[in-house]
Amino acid sequence: MAANPENDERTLHDELSLPILLADRVIKSAQEAESSKLDCADLAKQVDRLSQMLRSAVRIAAATQSLYDRPVRRIVADVAKNLDRALTLVRKCKHSGVLRQVFSITTTADFRKVSSLLESSIGDMKWLLSVFESDGANLSLPPIASNDPILSWVWSYIATIQMGQLRDRVEAANSLVSLARDNDRNKKIIVDEGGVTPLLKLLKEGSSPDAQIAAASALFHIATDQERVRIIIDLLGINVVVSVLGDSPMRVQVYVVRLVSEMAELDTVAQEVLGRENVIRPLVSLLAMDTVLDDPKVQSASGKPSIHNLVQINKQLAVNGLNPNSRLSSFSNHYHSDGSSRGGGHHRKEREREAESNPEVKLELKAGCAKALWKLCKGCLFNSRKVTETKGLICLAKIIEKEAGELQLNCLMTVMEIAVVAESNPDLRRAAFKPNSPAAKAILDQLLRVIQEEANQELQIPAIKAIGSLARTFPARETRIVGPLVARLGSADVDVAIEAAIALGKFVCTDNFNCVEHSKTIIEFDGVPSLMRLLRTTDRTSERGHVNCLVLLCYLASHVGNSKALEQARALNTLEGGARYLVAQYPDLRDLLAKAIHNLTLYQAGAHPHRQTFIP
């Protein structure tokens, strides 16, 4: 629940009233002193100066609509303590009888100490007033922060962001970026001193692209752990971020997308909140820039766009102020016209100009959007479904086909994460990757192309993982899927070969209805010799790879134990040799291994059906 500003203002007024009241009492008591009159008079002068500064602070607080009060509360509390000590001291100088004089002895050292404390309070108040009255950040050090200069700098920067002029606010936000980059302690101070709220306000206002970039960059460097991400969520920052992403210049969107990606990666709660705030649509919209997406709504029954539909589309584009021939508008117009954009199309023409004049910024933005989708979809059913419900899959497929570098890799990683989620969710798997779906076909074609044609391990591995996760969607007759995976079993890159073995294991496991047919296909594509070579390699280099290769061999033996290829490769000897270790380390594989050895023993010539299997 949001705090009531009136209550905050009244509380701050009360906090300022207390030291003013104490100051008046000190001055009155000093005037009534009967001993150490000169020392008391000196203290009274200091207190009077302090009182005037406190009254100035009250006037500033009353006149300022959005006062940054963290340093005010901290300094005023310290001032009140020092005034209380001064009051105690001067009251001792008001004698009343001999006995009281004995118990109220004051020394010059006492006055010197209290005077020093009051001088520090005067320095603190002087700094505080200068922060509120100066243009730009004040980098001088108040006595209260003499041992921690970062604190006073953070106070000054945040005060400037909250109350300063636009140019000064931008500079202050960039200064917070520099501090946050240095270490985690600085980030914690910025958050603890209330820096997130004014940064979100600066981002939301849209006063200038530079201001939004500075605010987004500061938030990005602050939100580097789950705790600080949660603070941004609690301050309703997700709503601001999504709103700005939907309607801001392209160079601002680059920084906002980085923030979205970072938050989604660090916190599953942020993943869900971002998804429910509908961040997927603007991300897919931006990713689809310059990508022509076939829209089934504009297709006639014959599969070709009708003249009537083309005329209607051009009219609609004209109404929305877009160039009908602009490829930039091909998807983003659909996004903005459906009412899901938070800010409308205020910056749409500016984005089109940026896309034409700054191709590097456009490429960076698209790569950032793809990475954000990757992080949002990782392990998240809601977001994965959202991507598939938009034109996300067809867009990802086209980019994987035509682009290269970071953008292509991030799109592949997004597809892989969606496939991983779909592997454990039959509804998503059937809805998004049904065999007759154009989007699913496009994705599958590109995954196979990457596996067969790309030489880069970073691209091949996510493509192989995605195919493996979708193993249960492919019919038995779809042999073109298994072939490229079998070929990669013999890859010179061991990591690629291991991923191929893991993926093939999902085709032949008992959870796959077509496991027997897929097993036959693997053997027909001469996969056994490659698998046996990989087993020998991983035995020395990778336990994870070796175990997965043994599991694949077990499934092949269980489903097609009568295969000549398995007999020629001496698969039975291999399984018996690894049985004791495998069962000891992975007890849940005991039954699978026993069945595989039993099957091979039954079918292979010369093998005794009652021989010792070496399974403990």
Concatenated DSSP letters for 368-415? HHHHHHHHHHTT-HHHHHHHHHTTHHHHHHHHHHH--HHHHHHHHHHH
**8 A C-beta contact, residue 271 and residue 228:** no
286 pLDDT higher than 60:
yes
Q: How far apart are CA 526 and CA 35, in angstroms?
A: 107
- Unique residue bearing structure tokens 């056994």: 528
User: Which tokens hold the place of 252?
Assistant: 């601002």
Closest CA to 246 of 386, 360, 345: 345
Maximum average pLDDT range among 64-68, 89-93, 173-177, 297-301:
173-177
- Count the Cβ atoms, other than its own, within 10 Å of residue 97: 7
Buried b (16+ CB within 10 A) or exposed e, 420-459: bbbbeeeebbeebbeeebebbebbbebbbebbeeeeeeeb
pLDDT at 4: 46
pLDDT at 332: 45
Q: pLDDT category, 297, cuts 50, 70, 90?
A: very low
SS3 state of residue 355: helix
Class of domain 474-616: mainly alpha
300 pLDDT higher than 70:
no
**8 A C-beta contact, residue 20 and residue 58:** yes
321 pLDDT higher than 50:
no
The stretch 211-218 carries a mean pLDDT of 96
The stretch 72-85 carries a mean pLDDT of 93
Q: How far apart are CA 122 and CA 522, in angstroms?
A: 83
Which of 147-161, 403-417, 422-436 comes out lowest in average pLDDT?
Answer: 422-436
**8 A C-beta contact, residue 61 and residue 72:** yes
- Unique residue bearing structure tokens 């520090």: 120
User: Which tokens hold the place of 574?
Assistant: 């291999």
Higher pLDDT, 304 or 228: 228
Helix-, strand-, coil-residue percentages of the chain, each rounded to 5: 75, 0, 25
Query: Structural domain boundaries of the chain?
Result: 1-134, 474-616
User: Which tokens hold the place of 423?
Assistant: 């592997």
Q: pLDDT category, 308, cuts 50, 70, 90?
A: very low
Helix axes 226-234, 268-276, angle to 10 degrees: 30
Instruction: Tell me, letter by letter, the H, E, C secondary structure of 531-587.
Output: HHHHHHHHHHHCHHHHHHHHHHHHHHHHHCCCCHHHHHCCHHHHHHHHHHHHHHHCH
Instruction: For residue 196, give Cα distances in angstroms to 188, 191, 218, 395.
Output: 11, 6, 9, 35
- In one letter, which amino acid is 100? R
pLDDT at 568: 84
- How confident is the prediction for the chain on average, in pLDDT? 83
Higher pLDDT, 60 or 6: 60
How many residues comprise the chain? 616
Q: How far apart are CA 385 and CA 276, in angstroms?
A: 12
Q: How far apart are CA 409 and CA 230, in angstroms?
A: 29
Q: How far apart are CA 112 and CA 89, in angstroms?
A: 11
Q: How far apart are CA 506 and CA 145, in angstroms?
A: 61
Within its chain, how far is the Cα of 176 from the centroid? Answer: 19
Q: pLDDT category, 39, cuts 50, 70, 90?
A: confident
140 pLDDT higher than 90:
no
223 pLDDT higher than 90:
yes
DSSP string of 299-339? --TTSS--HHHHHHHHHHHHHTT--TT-TTHHHHHHHHHTT
DSSP 8-state assignment for residue 75: H
276 pLDDT higher than 60:
yes
**8 A C-beta contact, residue 240 and residue 279:** no
- Count the Cβ atoms, other than its own, within 10 Å of residue 562: 12
The stretch 270-284 carries a mean pLDDT of 94
pLDDT at 544: 87
Q: pLDDT category, 591, cuts 50, 70, 90?
A: confident
**8 A C-beta contact, residue 246 and residue 341:** yes
Q: How far apart are CA 318 and CA 601, in angstroms?
A: 74
High-pLDDT (> 70) share of the chain, %: 84
- Count the Cβ atoms, other than its own, within 10 Å of residue 368: 25
Q: What is the pLDDT of residues 358-414, one digit of tens each?
A: 788 999 999 999 999 999 999 999 999 999 988 889 999 999 999 888 999 999 999
Q: What is the pLDDT of residues 5-35, one digit of tens each?
A: 444 445 788 888 999 999 999 999 888 888 8
Dihedral sign computed on CA atoms, order 329, 334, 335, 337: positive
Q: Is 542 exposed, middle or buried (0-12, 13-18, 19+ CB in 10 A)?
A: middle
Q: How far apart are CA 549 and CA 458, in angstroms?
A: 21
High-pLDDT (> 90) share of the chain, %: 50
Dihedral sign computed on CA atoms, order 536, 537, 541, 542: negative
pLDDT at 179: 95
Task: Give me Rg for the CA atoms of the chain.
Answer: 35
pLDDT at 97: 52
Q: pLDDT category, 104, cuts 50, 70, 90?
A: low
**8 A C-beta contact, residue 192 and residue 231:** no
450 pLDDT higher than 60:
yes
Q: Is 549 exposed, middle or buried (0-12, 13-18, 19+ CB in 10 A)?
A: buried
pLDDT at 435: 78
DSSP 8-state assignment for residue 277: T
The stretch 417-427 carries a mean pLDDT of 93
- Count the Cβ atoms, other than its own, within 10 Å of residue 328: 21
The stretch 412-435 carries a mean pLDDT of 91
The stretch 579-588 carries a mean pLDDT of 81
Q: How far apart are CA 515 and CA 505, in angstroms?
A: 9
pLDDT at 311: 40
Closest CA to 522 of 483, 474, 565: 483
